[in-house]
């Protein structure tokens, strides 16, 4: 049990620093900036309670906002993503439920399941984040375009991480 906590603490710190030091410096065409830190919420164990997940999401988003000097955009988007996570997991649950001791990973549930699960959560996060950033109804098409592009790139990187970093 302590090993799982330590692994998650290290993952939390590593994902924040990878996001800040690498992915925040990637701007493709001004519209694409991948957000890999959301992987932390995606990979949380199935058994985590809702309140604990919301607190962790708050701390993750707050950490990003502090480093990026944002007024709470990442915090709000990450908490919203964590709020929707149990509903998405319930929607895509196997007939017999999730196996005890398994995690939301490609290794346990396959690429199709993981892709659907992560793309929806990432889309929710990005749509809310970009809506807060732009905050004008006149920019709705730009918000949707940016959301779709970033969701595809971020989901690709999240899925890629399943094959190279989080194999089991």
pLDDT band at residue 150 under the 50/70/90 scheme: very high
What are the C-alpha distances in Å from 62 to residues 10, 33, 147, 166? Answer: 17, 19, 21, 25
Stated pTM of the model = 0.92
Give every CB contact of residue 37 below 8 A, 6+ residues apart in sequence. 15, 16, 18, 19, 60, 64
Give the whole-angstrom CA distance, residue 42 versus residue 77: 14
Q: Could you report the per-residue pLDDT of 53-69, keeping only the tens digit for each?
A: 999 999 999 999 999 99
Task: Give the structural domain span for 149.
Answer: 2-164
pLDDT of residue 168: 57
Say how many domains are in the chain.
Answer: 1
């Amino acid at each position: 049990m302590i090993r799982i906590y330590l692994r998650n603490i290290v993952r939390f710190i590593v994902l924040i620093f990878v996001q800040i030091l690498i992915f925040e410096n990637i701007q493709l065409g001004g519209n694409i900036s991948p957000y890999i830190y959301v992987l932390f919420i995606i990979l949380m164990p199935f058994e985590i309670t809702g309140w604990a997940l919301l607190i962790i999401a708050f701390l993750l988003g707050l950490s990003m906002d502090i480093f990026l000097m944002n007024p709470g955009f990442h915090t709000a988007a990450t908490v919203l993503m964590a709020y929707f996570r149990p509903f998405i997991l319930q929607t895509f649950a196997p007939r017999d439920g999730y196996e005890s001791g398994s995690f939301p990973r490609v290794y346990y549930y396959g690429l199709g399941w993981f892709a659907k699960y992560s793309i929806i959560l990432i889309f929710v996060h990005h749509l809310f984040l970009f809506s807060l950033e732009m905050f004008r109804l006149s920019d709705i098409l730009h918000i949707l375009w940016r959301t779709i592009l970033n969701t595809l790139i971020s989901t690709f990187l999240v899925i890629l991480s399943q094959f190279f970093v989080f194999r089991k």
